[in-house]
Amino acid sequence: MDNRAIGVFDSGLGGLTAVRQIRSILPSENIIYFGDTSRVPYGGRSKEILLKYARQDVHFLRSFDIKAIVVACGTVSTNALPELRAENDLPILGVVEPACRRAVAVTKKRRVGLIATAASVRTGAYAETIRAIDPTVEVISKACPLFVPLVENGRDRPGDIVVETVAREYLEPLKDAGIDALILGCTHYPLLTDVIAQIMGPEVELIDTGAEAAWELKRTLKARDQLAGERQGEAVYCASDRPEDFGTLASRFLREDIPSVREVDIERY
């Protein structure tokens, strides 16, 4: 038993969709969340800058007594995970590998779709990870750069012609390619589940990277005998800019209200 907290970070608030899954799958765990809202978005940054930001984020989370870190940011998970793991003596889970394993497990047609930010797609990390698990599975990737701003501006519901038009343009080539599993490779995308499911149809399984990371975290903590004792876990939320704006968006990502947010000067870490 280990009641120390789990650290979770993302470039902004999107990672709260992963926190929501962790709290649902591991309700006894304490969570420290850091959203780097002063430097969001990470998608589109160079590898050097991403690595610098990710190291500062980890350094901040380790200023607490934590037992594991979940990198809820797809861009960091596909760009900086080996470096972070080599530099830290605790489990660091990304959102890429667990989702890829799930995709390989469920695809019958051996054709998996991936939607993500331009930077995540550009690295090819999802496709490489899937190829390493099963080289017979083909990955068809599509960058969806407008999904994050649309979600952040509340345009995420079926019936909104703006998000539906954009989503159809992004997703129809994937549908036409005959995929039967689609990785939502950005933490914002679970909010678009209804819009995406409507376009892709019931024969395509949508894979929530936050949920898969949460299951992987549960397996890891169990194997290390580090699950928390039975109780109601608590969560602390930190952001590097405008913590006063955190609440509105955050409650949509997390689907619960956030009591208070602590401001962090991340450049100091």
**Binding residues for its own copies (CB under 8 A):** 38-39, 44-46, 49, 145-146, 149-150, 152-153, 155, 161-162, 165-166, 241-242, 245
Minimum Å distance from CB 238 to its own copies? 15
Distance, CA of 40 to CA of 11 (rounded, Å): 5
Is residue 177 a contact partner of residue 141, using CB atoms and an 8 Å limit? no
**Which candidate, 17, 1, 11, places its Cα nearest to that of 206?**
17
Which CB atom, from 234 or from 245, has the smaller least distance to its own copies? 245
Minimum Å distance from CB 165 to its own copies? 5
Which CB atom, from 123 or from 129, has the smaller least distance to its own copies? 123
Q: How far is CA 53 from CA 19, 39, 59, 180, 240, in A?
A: 20, 9, 10, 35, 12
Which CB atom, from 115 or from 235, has the smaller least distance to its own copies? 115
Which CB atom, from 138 or from 160, has the smaller least distance to its own copies? 160
Taking residue 83's Cβ as centre, other Cβ atoms within 10 Å add up to 15
Minimum Å distance from CB 264 to its own copies? 12
Minimum Å distance from CB 13 to its own copies? 12
CA distance between the termini of the chain: 30
Question: Can 144 be counted among the known catalytic residues?
Answer: no
Question: Can 100 be counted among the known catalytic residues?
Answer: no
Q: Is the peptide bond before 243 cis (omega within 30 degrees of 0)?
A: no
Catalytic residues: 73, 186
